A = this chain, B = another copy of it.
């Protein structure tokens, strides 16, 4: 069955806050539907208002519980909230487990909350491809805040940072935070640190270690920089969560005052444009003689007849660039 899509009507309904229209638009952008460009064009005038908050941390620190608690706290302040839960493992697994989302159930009937689990797509597409478009949908739908939740250490985290105005890094006591935190480079990406499960042994030590590392890390910088605060929470009971919101807002105000918010958003848009352009160019590689061009070049590289740079030259020539 062919379903016709009236994009303009969907966007109107999403702007009125109809959850099904929002969900449908995200599906359209996530599936790379033929309507993708039409959706992007229709959304453009209504974007740029949402405050974008990234949440990240290692497995087991309580990310989902924290996201849910943040949503509750934002709702108490009358703010509309979108959540994009990104599962970076989906090139293989095809999506997030249910467990996480079940805990979000309390918000399922709240018309001021949109929650969406995103599958990331393929290799180079990744978070950089579909997530910014889903973010635009939530932004245009009138979300005051969009939380992007992602797991882990590495590339997905890097990409969350590239999308977010403010990045919150979650930790929990007793997970070998000290050296691991430094290894994971989280000192550099965090605008706000949250030590969750603060009712457990070692929470004070973890917070102290973090503050110490922050003081060391910042000393070498000569310019005036944001000093990330360390907030303790027990997200499962909502304790400390309003303080996290205050810290996020303080960082947002700090960025705005310095013109850095506008610069971050311009960089974000530039990254988004480049990612789309590259994806388009990449799809042309596959189109060259039905992908046979790449395969033939790969065989010659495997055989040692050609080096990969010379092969890449031929590929670039092949798409006429």
Contacts and interface: CB of A to CB of B under 8 A. Distances in A.
A263 B59 CA distance: 34
A191 B313 CA distance: 34
A267 B295 CA distance: 8
What band does the interface of chain A fall in when counting residues whose beta carbon is under 8 Å from B? 35 or more
B307 A37 contact: yes
Contact of A185 (B90, B179, B319, B320): B90
B123 A302 contact: no
Interface string A138-175: 00000000000001111111110010000000000001
A302 B266 contact: yes
Interface string A19-40: 0000000000000000011001
A37 B312 CA distance: 11
B302 A183 contact: no
Interface string A236-270: 00000000000000000000000000100111011
Contacts of A311: 269, 273, 276
Interface of A: 36-37, 40-41, 43-48, 58-60, 87-93, 96-97, 99, 123-124, 126, 128, 132-133, 151-159, 162, 175-176, 179-180, 182-185, 187-189, 262, 265-267, 269-278, 280-282, 284-285, 294-295, 297-299, 301-312, 315-316, 319-321
Contacts of A275: 124
B153 A88 contact: yes
Given A262-B302, A273-B308, A274-B315, A89 B162 contact: no
Overall SS of chain A's interface: helix
Nearest to A133: B308
Given A60-B176, A89-B183, A183-B89, A40 B309 contact: yes
Contacts of A302: 48, 262, 265-266, 269
A93 B99 CA distance: 33
Contact of A294 (B157, B274, B301): B274
B155 A312 contact: no
A33 to B, nearest CB: 12
Given A40-B308, A59-B176, A269-B302, 7 more contacts: A37-B310, A88-B155, A92-B188, A124-B124, A153-B154, A154-B154, A278-B281
Contact of A58 (B58, B187, B272): B58
B60 A316 contact: no
Contacts of A37: 307, 309-310
26 contacts: A40-B308, A40-B309, A41-B307, A41-B310, A44-B301, A44-B306, A45-B304, A48-B302, A58-B58, A88-B155, A89-B153, A89-B154, A93-B185, A96-B183, A124-B124, A152-B152, A153-B153, A269-B297, A270-B294, A273-B301, A273-B315, A274-B285, A276-B309, A276-B312, A278-B278, A320-B321
